[in-house]
Chains A and B, each alone.
Chain A
Amino acid sequence: MQSKLSSLFDAFLPVIATLAALAVGAVMLLFLKVNPLEAYAALWDGAFGSANSFAETLVKATPLLLVALGICISFRGDVINIGGEGQMIIGAVLATWVGLTLTGLPGWLAITLAMLAGFLGGAVWGGIPGILKAYFRVNEILSTVMMNAIAVQLMNFLLRGPMIDPSQAELASKIPQTARLLDIFHLPRLAPTRLHLGALIAVVLAILVYILLWRTTAGYRIRAVGQNPNASRYAGIKVPRYVVLALLLSGAFAGLAGAVQVYGVNYRMITDGSSSGFTGSAGFNGIVAALFGQLHPIWSIPASILFGALLVGANKMQRVVQVPSALITVLNGLVVIFVVSSEIWRRRRQRRRLAAAPVEESPPEEDQPNVQTKEANQ
């Protein structure tokens, strides 16, 4: 009975950690002379208060989930992909180009091609650091960060030059944006809200990624390489190939997120010069969502919705109680730090349980995925 209770407690640890983070946020709100209850009520209302706001939450959660799925694959393979931002941008650029060029196609075909283009663009942008890591031993954390910077400048160049909206090119203002996509190329809406097909695609892909990781040989090998590259090599797995595959797939999902963002929300690409102007930092927040979801594709769904809700609710909170919405991004970070730190209690109690258990029970095993990165291995 007691062990049941305690495993229930384990399952709720992320929730408890989230509440703890919110409590810290409340203290910060008090410092800003704002009533935290009022602020959190506004947050909740903004995220879940009506059908429209809930749809908005899901719209924000969609790119987070897509990026998080890629992160699940790469982190399981012990490949730390920080390049979601750049991969999103390249995916979106390629998808936009497809939509603006192939204007003669029927809608469904153009959308399919554009999504594939996004997938491909992200795959290329993730594959480059993958090859650099697998065959040239370049640390992927650093190369993906650099690839982000390159992607941002590439986007700025294209949107100011070759891909600029022809009508903007004639104006003096020259807002760096592409032309708007044809109406028939927009991702279909799912309800009379802004919720679009992309959300459904993301959920289906979450299931597919689960199958990939735990029901296919390729997924097994990615995880094996992540757990122990040396043992994998002796077992005959071509380690470099799976390192590339992990980063390539990870980038592809981020690229798809970029394409979905263009075809489902903005209907064009626009830049303010920084990366977050287009991505809304989804490439980074997706990592946070994946970590919160314990690097499990299915658990990443609620995790993404939680962070989507925080982002949407933040706007409302900002309007109602006049606090900077940056507070929310701080809260996001706090949530993850608390979740990560709460692990210690789980482990400690697990040890105690094992110590108290009868001897004939199975030997203790590490049930955590080994996401410990060793730069020494690279």
Chain B
Amino acid sequence: MTQETILIGLAGVLAAAAPVIFAVLGETLSERAGVINLSMNGTILLSAMGGFAAAYTTDNIVLGFLAGMLIGALVALVVAFASITLKQSQVAVGFVLALTCRDLSYFLGNPYMGLPGPRLQAIPIPVLGDIPVIGQLFFRQDPITYISFVAIFLAWVWIFRTRPGLMLQGIGEKPAAAFIRGANVNLMRYVYTVIGGALIGLAGPAYSLAIRAGWMGTISGLDGIGWIALSITIFGGWNPSRAAFGAYLFAFLQWLGLVLQPVLTQVPSQVLQVAPFPLMILTLLLVNIGDAEWVERALAAMPENTRKIMVKLLRAMRASPPAALGVPFERD
């Protein structure tokens, strides 16, 4: 394999990760505020379909992306209403929505199956795109990929470097304390869930109008992406930069599977197709293992030096969710 094809492949990995990044950032915001939006898998499909349909009918690609965001925001609003106002189980509502939105997308998307639609073109950035390796990797992408780069940075700055972001952390960790500090906890949860939903809704058109242009119904291969994005959110420890790393890692592994397929001919194709899933389970295991009781006991029994190293290692991998995740807030 030449350096050229590897570079093209890696640039493709960055582009392929863009939708997952939007989804993961959206879910991170929502969960930071304390609301699990489990509908993600269905939302991505529905917004992919809706975004494509809108762009196809209006012949305006920007409208397609906006439609996707609107759909994501509306689904998130249902989740927020059911969990914040009705205090229902977020998991139950989210899961049902995940199924319903998926079926709804197949059902409503029927007329748009396989139509040739608009597609986002790559726009190389003038000077930066000419830098040898880096330019090819980062600056000859399509606009939505550029936006994904910026979004990671913005989300990180917002959560960790601004006052409202600090409040957001408070709402998810200790809503009662945030309330005393003057935050309208439930309103803020609504806002962040809906904004997060809009971001998740951006993931759909990022597929159907860019990477995998068009709407192919059940065979579009988008079913399941949302669940992967959900585990990347956890892997990312509710931190945008680490989540982005997870998304890129996943896209890279998928690309690796494709590249290796012709080389490893004796391995059944199913093994490579399925490999990301056990790998995701393994990463989730590594991220959480430090919290397990028996691990703590085992650590205590270790000699001092090994224990220090192990503790450091486990702490580096560890990711704890916002303490009030999934818990309705009631002031009393």
Give chain A's interface residues, CB within 8 Å of chain B.
80, 82, 132, 135-139, 141-143, 145-147, 149-150, 153-154, 156-157, 161, 274, 284, 287-288, 291, 324, 326-327, 329-330, 332-334, 336-337, 340-341, 343-344, 371-376, 378
* In the complex, B284 has a CB within 8 A of chain A: yes
* In the complex, B47 has a CB within 8 A of chain A: no
- Distance (Å) between the CB of A272 and the closest chain B CB? 10
Given A142-B231, A149-B274, A157:B89 Cβ within 8 A:
no
Residues of A within 8 A of B63 (CB): none
Task: Give per-residue flags for B79-95: 1 if the beta carbon is below 8 A from chain A beta carbons, else 0.
Answer: 00010011011111101
Residues of B within 8 A of A332 (CB): 99-100
Residues of A within 8 A of B88 (CB): 340-341, 343
Name the one of A139, A149, A329, A337 contacting B284, with C-beta atoms under 8 angstroms. Answer: A139
Tell me the dominant secondary structure on chain B's binding face. Answer: helix
* In the complex, B117 has a CB within 8 A of chain A: no
Give chain B's interface residues, CB within 8 Å of chain A.
36, 38, 78, 82, 85-86, 88-93, 95-97, 99-100, 103-104, 106-107, 110, 218, 224, 227, 230-231, 234, 268, 270-271, 273-274, 277-278, 280-281, 284-285, 288-289, 291-292, 294, 321-328
In the complex, what distance in Å separates the CA atom of A337 from the CA atom of B103? 15
- Of chain A, the residue at the smallest CB distance from B94 is A141
In the complex, what distance in Å separates the CA atom of A374 from the CA atom of B327? 7
Residues of A within 8 A of B78 (CB): 337
In the bound complex, do residue B277 and residue A149 qualify as a contact, i.e. CB atoms below 8 Å apart?
Answer: yes
Given A136-B292, A376-B322, A324:B277 Cβ within 8 A:
no
In the bound complex, do residue B326 and residue A376 qualify as a contact, i.e. CB atoms below 8 Å apart?
Answer: yes
Using A142-B280, A154-B270 as known contacts, list a sample of 14 further A-B pairs with CB atoms less than 8 Å apart, ordered by residue number in A. Answer: A80-B95, A82-B95, A136-B292, A137-B289, A138-B284, A138-B288, A141-B38, A142-B227, A143-B284, A327-B107, A372-B89, A374-B327, A376-B327, A378-B291
- Distance (Å) between the CB of B226 and the closest chain A CB? 9
Tell me the dominant secondary structure on chain A's binding face. Answer: helix
- Distance (Å) between the CB of A275 and the closest chain B CB? 10
- Of chain A, the residue at the smallest CB distance from B41 is A145
In the bound complex, do residue A341 and residue B86 qualify as a contact, i.e. CB atoms below 8 Å apart?
Answer: yes
- Of chain B, the residue at the smallest CB distance from A151 is B274
In the bound complex, do residue A132 and residue B218 qualify as a contact, i.e. CB atoms below 8 Å apart?
Answer: no
In the complex, what distance in Å separates the CA atom of A157 from the CA atom of B269? 9
In the bound complex, do residue B274 and residue A150 qualify as a contact, i.e. CB atoms below 8 Å apart?
Answer: yes
